[in-house]
Amino acid sequence: MGFFNWAAPAFGHFADRWSPESIEEIVGWLAPYLGEQKRILDVGGGTGALARRLSQSADAQVTVLDPTPEMLRYIPTDGPIKGVVGTAEAIPFPDDSFDAVIVTDAFHHFRDQPGAVREFRRVVRKGGGVLVVELDPTGLVMRSIALGEKLLGEPGAFFTPDAMCEFMKTHGIAGNCAAIRGVSYRFVGTVR
Ligand X SMILES: C[S@@+](CC[C@H](N)C(=O)[O-])C[C@H]1O[C@@H](n2cnc3c(N)ncnc32)[C@H](O)[C@@H]1O
What is the C-alpha radius of gyration for the chain, rounded to an integer number of angstroms?
15
Among 67, 80, 115, 155, binds ligand X (CB under 6 A): 67
The binding track of 110-129 with respect to ligand X, each residue x by CB under 6 A or -, is xx------------------
Does the protein bind ligand X through residue 105 (CB under 6 A)?
A: yes
Among 39, 87, 100, 156, binds ligand X (CB under 6 A): 87
| Ramachandran angles phi, psi of 173, nearest 5° | -125, 100
Stretch that binds ligand X, among 55-63, 105-113, 119-127, 165-173 (CB under 6 A): 105-113
Among 30, 33, 45, 98, binds ligand X (CB under 6 A): 45
Does the protein bind ligand X through residue 99 (CB under 6 A)?
A: no
Under a CB-based contact definition with an 8 Å cutoff, are residues 17 and 104 in contact? no
Q: How far is the CB of 33 from ligand X (least distance, A)?
A: 19
Burial of 62 (0-12, 13-18, 19+ CB in 10 A): buried
> Residue 27: what residue type?
V
Question: Which one, 49 or 81, has the nearer CB to ligand X?
Answer: 49
Stretch that binds ligand X, among 31-39, 52-60, 101-109, 165-173 (CB under 6 A): 101-109
Q: Which of 79, 20, 13, 21 is nearest to 46 (CA)?
A: 13
Q: Which of 19, 162, 9 is nearest to 71 (CA)?
A: 9
Q: How far is the CB of 109 from ligand X (least distance, A)?
A: 4
**Helix/strand/coil (H/E/C) assignment for every residue in 104-159:** ECCHHHCCCHHHHHHHHHHHEEEEEEEEEEEECCCCHHHHHHHHHHHHCCCCCCCC
Question: Which one, 85 or 179, has the nearer CB to ligand X?
Answer: 85
Measured in whole angstroms, the distance separating CA 129 from the mean position of its chain's CA atoms is 12
Does the protein bind ligand X through residue 149 (CB under 6 A)?
A: no
| Positions in the binding site for ligand X (CB under 6 A) | 4, 15, 43-46, 49-50, 66-68, 71, 87-89, 104-106, 109-111
